[in-house]
């Protein structure tokens, strides 16, 4: 029997065509219309279509991401499903895929896919990308790899996937380690694994035992889907000579978490230190990241504003995770009721 793959269509460029009234591409194609143009996909797997939404990438909110994760988990309750594919706008695909990797706890593959060209263009890459994603989701070799991004015949871990170019088909790359494997015609080739982040458990009072039993029977283990996310988490980018005005504003306007994008190893201008200290003293978790596209944030340096001082002040170092993904993780942790010490431990364990 052919494997069964559920595809949740959410919109994005893969669903777009040029609209005569607006003069540009907008989401328009249903899942059925897209699948009808993917040659050979029904030979790979039996397809179940779920039309979840029809949104461009920038319209995907954290709350919608959480709703999507719940829908993906619901499909995994069906033991006959070999894997799930999610089509998504590439502008926010990184965040949504990463959130799924944090909260889903299932061995079967969940594969995110999109397109860089719309269906009105001769170079529409949607069908080829979707066919590759279905092939990966249907293949037992993809089990246990966590949530994946499959674009341009490359298989990338969601935790590592970064959009590196505004338009190029090969835009999605692994920021430090390269792809896990490739899709070569009719074969899925995996050449390395990845260290998956520790799942973020819910507080006991949020667990409903009945769904958990269904999940266990389906090969998934206790659900980690949070009841809600804490969306009041802000990213503040620092540059040469930046002061703390925006940090001060975030604190005064009710931010519950701050991601400070610093320089190099995560070092910050001295002029920003008083505001960072104020946020930490207000028991707001402050996570330091870097504007560099690769590498870790680390307490290497000891001068004023450097990592060692920030860590002594109580800031959390974000490791290899870029700012926008750190924000998602902080939303999940805060939404699940984690204390500041528990948040600090969660980041330390993933570094």
Three-state SS at 165 = coil
H helix intervals, 77-165:
93-103, 126-138
- What kind and span of H or E run contains 345? helix 340-350
- Residue in the structure block whose two tokens are 């799924």: 100
Judge whether 113 and 88 are in contact, CB under 8 Å.
yes
Q: Give the separation between CA 350 and CA 331, rounded to whole angstroms.
A: 16
Burial class (CB in 10 A: 0-12, 13-18, 19+), 108: buried
Burial class (CB in 10 A: 0-12, 13-18, 19+), 89: buried
String of b and e for 214-240 (b: at least 16 CB within 10 Å)? ebeebebeebbbbeebbeebbbbebee
Q: Give the separation between CA 109 and CA 133, rounded to whole angstroms.
A: 10
Q: Give the separation between CA 97 and CA 69, rounded to whole angstroms.
A: 9
Judge whether 285 and 334 are in contact, CB under 8 Å.
yes
Identified catalytic residue from 13, 92, 96, 289 = 13
Reading phi first (left if > 0) and then psi (alpha if -120 to 50, else beta), residue 314 is in left
Judge whether 257 and 232 are in contact, CB under 8 Å.
yes
Residue 13 is a catalytic residue: yes
Q: Give the separation between CA 144 and CA 142, rounded to whole angstroms.
A: 6
DSSP calls for 262-281: EBTTTB--GGGHHHHHHHHH
Q: Give the separation between CA 318 and CA 261, rounded to whole angstroms.
A: 10
Q: Give the separation between CA 270 and CA 305, rounded to whole angstroms.
A: 5
Active site residues: 13
């Amino acid at each position: 029997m052919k494997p069964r793959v559920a595809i949740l269509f959410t919109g994005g460029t893969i669903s777009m065509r040029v609209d005569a009234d607006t003069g540009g591409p907008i989401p328009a194609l249903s899942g059925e219309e897209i699948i009808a143009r993917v040659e050979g996909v029904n030979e790979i797997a039996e397809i179940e279509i779920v039309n979840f939404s029809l949104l461009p990438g920038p319209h995907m909110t954290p709350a919608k991401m959480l709703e999507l994760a719940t829908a993906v988990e619901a499909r995994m309750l069906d033991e006959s499903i070999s894997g799930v594919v999610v089509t998504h706008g590439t502008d926010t695909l990184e965040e949504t895929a990463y959130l799924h990797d944090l909260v889903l706890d299932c061995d079967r593959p969940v594969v995110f896919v999109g397109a860089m060209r719309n269906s009105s263009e001769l170079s529409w890459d949607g069908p080829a990308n979707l066919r590759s994603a279905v092939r990966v989701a249907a293949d037992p070799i993809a089990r246990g790899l966590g949530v994946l991004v499959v674009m341009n015949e490359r298989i990338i871990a969601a935790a590592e996937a970064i959009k590196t170019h505004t338009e190029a088909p090969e835009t999605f790359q692994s920021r430090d380690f390269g792809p896990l494997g490739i899709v070569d015609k009719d074969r899925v080739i995996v050449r390395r694994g990845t260290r998956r982040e520790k799942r973020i458990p819910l507080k006991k009072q949020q667990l409903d035992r009945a769904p958990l039993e269904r999940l266990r029977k389906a090969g998934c283990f206790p659900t980690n889907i949070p009841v809600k996310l804490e969306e009041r988490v802000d990213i503040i980018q620092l540059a040469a000579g930046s002061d703390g005005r925006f940090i001060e504003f975030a604190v005064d306007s009710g931010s519950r978490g701050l991601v400070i994008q610093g320089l190099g190893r995560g070092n910050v201008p001295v002029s920003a230190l008083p505001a960072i200290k104020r946020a930490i003293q207000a028991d707001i978790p402050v996570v330091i990241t870097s504007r560099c596209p690769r590498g870790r944030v680390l307490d290497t340096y000891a001068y004023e504003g450097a990592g060692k001082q920030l860590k002594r002040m109580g800031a959390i170092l974000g490791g290899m995770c870029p700012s926008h993904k750190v924000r998602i993780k902080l939303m999940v942790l805060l939404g699940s009721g984690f204390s500041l010490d528990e948040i600090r431990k969660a980041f330390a364990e993933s570094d």
